[in-house]
Amino acid sequence: MPTLVTVYEREEPATARFITHILCLAAAENGLAAWLRYAPLQGGEHYHASLPSHIVALNTSTTSPVYVAGQELQQGIQSIYGKQCNVHHSYWDAGSSVVVGTLDEYTKAYGSLSNTPDLIQDGYWLSTEGSTVQILGMNERGALYGAFAYLSMLAKGNLTKVAYASNPDAPVRWTNEWDNLDGSIERGFAGNSNWFANGVIVSNLTRTAEYARLLTSIGINAVVVNNVNANASLLTPQNIEGLGRIADVMRPYGVQVGISLFFSSPTSGVQGQANLTTFDPIDESVVTWWTNVTDQIYQQVPDMAGYLVKANSEGQPGPLTYNRTLAQGANLFAKALQPYGGIVMFRAFVYNPLNETDWYADRANAQIQFFKPLDGEFDENVIIQIKYGPIDFQVREPTSPLFANIPKSNTAIELQVTQEYLGQQCHLVYLPPLWKTILDFDLRVDNESSLVRNIVSGQRFNHSLGGYAGVVNVGTNDTWIGSHMAMSNLYAFGRLAWDPTQDPQNLLQEWIRLTFSADQSVINTMTQISMESWPAYENYSGNLGEQTLTDILYTHFGPNPQTQDNTIWGQWTRADHTTIGMDRTVSNGTGFSGNYPPEIAQMYENIATTPDNLLLWFHHVNYTRLLHSGQTVIQDFYDQHYAGAATAQTFATMWESLKGKIDDERYYDQLFRQVFQAGHSLVWRDAISNFYHNISGIPDDAKRVGNHPYRIEAENMQLDGYMPYAVIPFEAASNYTAIVTSTNTTTGTAQTMITCPSGTYDVAVNYFDQFGGASHFVVSLNNETIGQWTSNLKPWIGNSEGPRVLGHTPSIYIDGHSAMRITFSNVTVTKGDMLKIVGTPDGTEPAPLDYVSLLPLGIID
Ligand code: GCV
């Protein structure tokens, strides 16, 4: 007989009752306030005497960052400790107070500090010693940063005496948002744009202001508001006016606006601008066109941060069309911006579509080929923005050698906060440990210490410009980027851009305290899950330097390793029946390893000194080659994929231990994602293991791959109204086969008699949730329902809104993106019971099923 069922789907009444009941027990939080919740501290009133009673914010203008700092301090102290402070805007000396302002204004009002702190632009001085708390910025923005640093202390219950100066490591700390003018967001997994809709800038910019507040609290100083795949109509007079409105709401938070440009805008017929017949960057008419447009923008946005340019890449136009160099292209904009102090962030992500049969035409070499010869030709206000690896935000890549090859140019590192290739916020992946492998990597230029973080800060090659660009892609969803836990990535991005020496785990724990709870068990659990998440994801997606192994021709979400090879995108793995890996050596391969300075080049050139985790990035080897670990390549694939998926199972269980310790709304939302991740990590595990098992023909020593004793393949059940379906790619389905209903309007039934021993089992059903329908499934034993669900996890499309949806890019196919699992726990099963699944198709989705697992307690398969 079936027993109690717990599922984490949304649609069913039983589940809904469960959530509602729990919701009554604890207050809900939607996540919008992120780490700036200012949660009340228990017993906060006992600390009133240790807190300031007055706030002096040394600026009377309501739109100044110092004024905002005063308001923020008032709100924070009130909310965290329940103490009401008055805010003054000029000299005030009545007992304990906190004074916030620029160093200059403070000196005018209160006289010089005894020791003048050593501050640079955006830096601040924070002293809680004495009866007056001093928060003094080198500029207004710095003062606001200092106020947030003080509030962060208060929110963590830290009332210790400190006195220190803090300066940013690099001047450029920007986010890039890939928002399109129509309101969609490329690689965004949290709804639509907060600032664009239907080709124009929206009138309600409340969320934009809230975002600026969050960003400034982590030291971000500019936002590029539109997609690097840009649209010329951003430059209509109406949109330029709109940019002014965005800048106006961000300015009080010290956050500047930047924009991405479409290189051929002069010939795009932009409404309200002249239309030219050329976009040649050295043509006088083009120079004048951009100068004019830039002047118009600065009239509306006098403090615009600058331009971001993606040129001659992935179909974007650029100077190469006219046989001009990328430097000539970049300098066109640099000259227009120079009078205003603006910056050009020129992206190094330049490559041409590649020959799909020629693996020697290595995409990883492209940036070096384009940019190295141009070093020294870029204007002083141009920064070359370089993705962390030579390909494209993969789960592991070697550090881009370009950082070492253009010492005369300013550089910035581009990191991706949105998890395009790393689970699209439906898999938890805490990214800073990955980023740190790059930032702390020593490229040994001229055999001297050359850490990437010291290159992009400008220190290593003596540049005053450089820094960080993080692709964030926030949307209208309350979680901002699609999942509550993924916000740790944004928090840490800002904090690392300010100080890249910080420890990812410390940043994480600070974020947990501010965002969720100071309860040590909450901190420990979330820390463990997060710190294990990148290694787990790497293990069940693509280990040994094989890249993520996702489908690069479609959604970038689920597994599909064969899409890497023989395409114009040049992400080769070169997997055949006996060998795998990309030979990037100088001696025998594409020569990529020679792009590094000699010490690093030698390390990668030599297979014996190449670390296992990048082996297949640099070398082409037999599946049977022994790794440094002593394992063969193929067995390591199997083992790591099993290990990674096993770790992902523990995340859901660990998360369940947080029940009642954090608010229910975020608890259930994240639990829903962890359950999804647990299921989808098995899809990944099986797909990659099966793929390489199939191609190599080498069995798994542990006899797991292709051997699933607890599974009942749907195609082996008795089918009525269902028929077998050969899944493409084959590895995305167990036994390569699913079942689908015979038509899209008729119900199908799959049934079988249970032959396993009677007992209590978890019943896991693997199915496919395609975009285009919401099929319904009912699972029963002897005609008694043990569970039912509607296959509609509502990926973000158009204007769909609402909590608890998976935001990944959807798939219209039965494949590794749509494959997923639902589990009914603790089901009592008797040998001889009839297990039946009835699938009702909907729209274009034919109620696809893969298999049912009857899992004894503790078994996962
Ligand atoms: C904005 C990858 C992504 C694209 C992105 C591009 C880029 O190719 O898949 O969506 O385009 O990188 O960074 O320009």
What CATH number is attached to the domain comprising 456?
3.20.20.80
Last-in-domain residue among 105, 137, 166: 166
pLDDT tens digits along 87-115: 999 998 867 999 999 999 999 999 999 88
| Dihedral angle over CA of 789, 791, 796, 802, nearest 10 | -20
Name the region of 425 (left: φ>0; alpha: ψ -120 to 50; beta: rest). left
Whether 750 and 809 map to the same domain: the answer is yes
CB 364, CB 397: distance < 8 Å: no
Read off the amino acid at residue 375: D
Of the residues 280, 420, 532, 583, only one is catalytic, namely 420
Is pLDDT at 8 greater than 80 in this prediction?
Answer: no
Mention every residue, 6+ apart, whose C-beta is less than 8 A from residue 737. Answer: 713, 714, 715, 724, 725, 726, 727
CA 414 to ligand 1: nearest atom:
13
Last-in-domain residue among 145, 166, 187: 166
Question: Which residues are bridge partners to 129 per DSSP?
Answer: none
**570 in a domain, yes or no?**
yes
H or E segment and range at residue 751? strand 748-753
Of the residues 29, 140, 210, 392, only one is catalytic, namely 392
Q: Where are the alpha helices (DSSP H) in 7-87?
A: 13-23, 65-81
For the chain, how many residues are written? 861
What spacing in Å lies between the alpha carbon of 21 and ligand 1's midpoint? 43
- Taking CA atoms only, the protein residue closest to ligand 1 atom 12 is 392
Nearest partner of 645 among 526, 821, 461, 824, judged by Cα: 821
CA 420 to ligand 1: nearest atom:
9
**161 in a domain, yes or no?**
yes
* Residue whose structure tokens are 């020679």: 594
Read off the amino acid at residue 522: V
What is d(CA 504, CA 516) in angstroms, rounded to the nearest whole number? Answer: 17
Whether 290 and 308 map to the same domain: the answer is yes
DSSP for 618-686 reads: H--EETTPBPTTSSBHHHHHHHHHHHHHHHHHHHHHHHHTTTTTS-HHHHHHHHHHHHHHHHHHHHHHH
**76 in a domain, yes or no?**
yes
pLDDT at 9: 30
pLDDT tens digits along 769-779: 999 999 999 99
pLDDT tens digits along 341-353: 999 999 999 998 8
What spacing in Å lies between the alpha carbon of 661 and ligand 1's midpoint? 39
Whether 504 and 536 map to the same domain: the answer is no
Question: Percent of the chain having pLDDT more than 90?
Answer: 92
- Taking CA atoms only, the protein residue closest to ligand 1 atom 13 is 349
604-631 burial, b for 16+ CB within 10 Å, e for fewer?
Answer: bbeeeebeebbbbbbbbbebebebeeeb
What spacing in Å lies between the alpha carbon of 612 and ligand 1's midpoint? 28
**209 in a domain, yes or no?**
yes
- Taking CA atoms only, the protein residue closest to ligand 1 atom 8 is 392
Collapsing DSSP states into helix, strand and coil, what is residue 512? Answer: helix
What spacing in Å lies between the alpha carbon of 853 and ligand 1's midpoint? 38
Is pLDDT at 13 greater than 80 in this prediction?
Answer: no
What pTM, to 2 d.p., does this model score? Answer: 0.96
Give me 617's structure tokens.
């990035």
140-155 and 65-81 are packed helices; what angle lies between their axes, rounded to 10 degrees? 10
Burial class (CB in 10 A: 0-12, 13-18, 19+), 299: exposed
Whether 477 and 534 map to the same domain: the answer is no
Q: Supply the mean pLDDT for the chain.
A: 94
**Number of domains, the chain:** 4
Q: How many other CB atoms sit within 10 Å of the CB of residue 501?
A: 11
Lowest mean pLDDT among 157-161, 530-534, 792-796: 792-796
pLDDT at 20: 27
Whether 452 and 403 map to the same domain: the answer is yes
pLDDT tens digits along 567-580: 999 899 999 999 99
CA 471 to ligand 1: nearest atom:
13
pLDDT tens digits along 229-259: 999 999 999 999 999 999 999 999 999 999 9
Give me 31's structure tokens.
């996540």
CA 178 to ligand 1: nearest atom:
1
pLDDT at 163: 96
CB 637, CB 689: distance < 8 Å: yes
Is pLDDT at 215 greater than 80 in this prediction?
Answer: yes
**612 in a domain, yes or no?**
no
The mean pLDDT of 3-20, rounded to a whole number, is 28
What spacing in Å lies between the alpha carbon of 660 and ligand 1's midpoint? 40
CB 89, CB 57: distance < 8 Å: yes
What is d(CA 528, CA 608) in angstroms, rounded to the nearest whole number? Answer: 33
CB 736, CB 716: distance < 8 Å: no
**602 in a domain, yes or no?**
no
Is pLDDT at 168 greater than 60 in this prediction?
Answer: yes
Whether 739 and 845 map to the same domain: the answer is yes
What spacing in Å lies between the alpha carbon of 809 and ligand 1's midpoint? 14
420-453 burial, b for 16+ CB within 10 Å, e for fewer?
Answer: bbbbbbbbbbbbbbbbbbbbebebbbeeeebbbb
Is pLDDT at 16 greater than 90 in this prediction?
Answer: no
What spacing in Å lies between the alpha carbon of 498 and ligand 1's midpoint? 25
Confidence of residue 11 (pLDDT cuts 50, 70, 90): very low
Whether 659 and 526 map to the same domain: the answer is yes
Q: Give yes or no: 442 in active site.
A: no
pLDDT at 131: 87
What is d(CA 845, CA 297) in angstroms, rounded to the nearest whole number? Answer: 48
Mention every residue, 6+ apart, whose C-beta is less than 8 A from residue 689. Answer: 637, 638, 641, 642, 700, 704, 705
pLDDT at 797: 57
DSSP for 712-734 reads: EEGGGSEEESEEEEE-SSGGGSG
* Residue whose structure tokens are 């960057």: 281
Q: What is the 3-state secondary structure (H, E, C) of 77-114?
A: HHHHHCCCCEEECCCCCCCCEEEEEEHHHHHHHHCCCC
Using CA atoms, how far residue 58 sits from 51, 55, 70, 224, in Å, is: 19, 9, 9, 30
Q: How many other CB atoms sit within 10 Å of the CB of residue 369?
A: 12
Q: How far from chain centre, in Å, is Cα 482?
A: 10
Of the residues 248, 314, 442, 499, only one is catalytic, namely 314
pLDDT at 28: 66
Whether 404 and 540 map to the same domain: the answer is no
Is pLDDT at 805 greater than 90 in this prediction?
Answer: no
Give the pairing of strands 775-781 and 784-791.
Answer: antiparallel
Is pLDDT at 403 greater than 60 in this prediction?
Answer: yes
Whether 112 and 200 map to the same domain: the answer is no
Nearest partner of 178 among 163, 158, 199, 192, judged by Cα: 192
Give me 600's structure tokens.
């690093």
H or E segment and range at residue 837? strand 834-840
Whether 184 and 333 map to the same domain: the answer is yes
The mean pLDDT of 285-306, rounded to a whole number, is 98
pLDDT at 73: 98
What spacing in Å lies between the alpha carbon of 407 and ligand 1's midpoint? 26
- Taking CA atoms only, the protein residue closest to ligand 1 atom 2 is 392
Structural domain span for residue 145: 44-166
Last-in-domain residue among 458, 479, 513: 513
Pocket test residue of 261, 314, 387 for ligand 1, highest count of atoms within 8 A of CB: 314
Identify the residues whose C-beta falls under 6 Å from ligand 1: 178, 186-187, 227-229, 310, 314, 349, 392, 420
Phi, psi of 221 (to 5 degrees): -115, 0
Angle, CA 431 vertex, CA 426 and CA 435 arms, to 5°:
150
What spacing in Å lies between the alpha carbon of 720 and ligand 1's midpoint? 45
What CATH number is attached to the domain comprising 757?
2.60.120.260
* Residue whose structure tokens are 């307690």: 857
Whether 308 and 447 map to the same domain: the answer is yes
Give me 153's structure tokens.
């202390």
Which sign, positive or negative, has the C-alpha torsion 808, 812, 818, 822? Answer: positive
Collapsing DSSP states into helix, strand and coil, what is residue 66? Answer: helix
Confidence of residue 49 (pLDDT cuts 50, 70, 90): very high
DSSP for 263-323 reads: TTGGGTT-TTS---S---TT-HHHHHHHHHHHHHHHHH-TT--EEEE--SSTT---GGGGT
720-751 burial, b for 16+ CB within 10 Å, e for fewer?
Answer: ebbeebebebebbbbbbbbbbbbebeebbbbe
What is d(CA 803, CA 806) in angstroms, rounded to the nearest whole number? Answer: 9
pLDDT tens digits along 496-555: 999 999 999 999 999 999 999 999 999 999 999 999 999 999 999 999 999 999 999 999
Phi, psi of 491 (to 5 degrees): -55, -50
* Residue whose structure tokens are 């006016």: 241
What spacing in Å lies between the alpha carbon of 416 and ligand 1's midpoint? 10
Q: Give yes or no: 392 in active site.
A: yes
CA 187 to ligand 1: nearest atom:
10
Is pLDDT at 6 greater than 70 in this prediction?
Answer: no
- Taking CA atoms only, the protein residue closest to ligand 1 atom 14 is 228
CA 316 to ligand 1: nearest atom:
14
What spacing in Å lies between the alpha carbon of 311 and ligand 1's midpoint? 12
What spacing in Å lies between the alpha carbon of 454 and ligand 1's midpoint? 26
What spacing in Å lies between the alpha carbon of 817 and ligand 1's midpoint? 19
In the DSSP assignment, the letter for residue 451 is B
Mention every residue, 6+ apart, whose C-beta is less than 8 A from residue 166. Answer: 123, 124, 125, 126, 145, 146, 149, 498, 499
pLDDT at 429: 98
What spacing in Å lies between the alpha carbon of 418 and ligand 1's midpoint? 12
**604 in a domain, yes or no?**
no
**603 in a domain, yes or no?**
no
- Taking CA atoms only, the protein residue closest to ligand 1 atom 11 is 229
What is d(CA 56, CA 93) in angstroms, rounded to the nearest whole number? Answer: 9
Whether 316 and 386 map to the same domain: the answer is yes
Give me 721's structure tokens.
């109204």
The shares of helix, strand and coil residues in the chain, as percent rounded to the nearest 5, are 35, 20, 45
The mean pLDDT of 146-165, rounded to a whole number, is 96
| Dihedral angle over CA of 564, 569, 570, 575, nearest 10 | 10
Pocket test residue of 180, 187, 424 for ligand 1, highest count of atoms within 8 A of CB: 187
CA 347 to ligand 1: nearest atom:
14
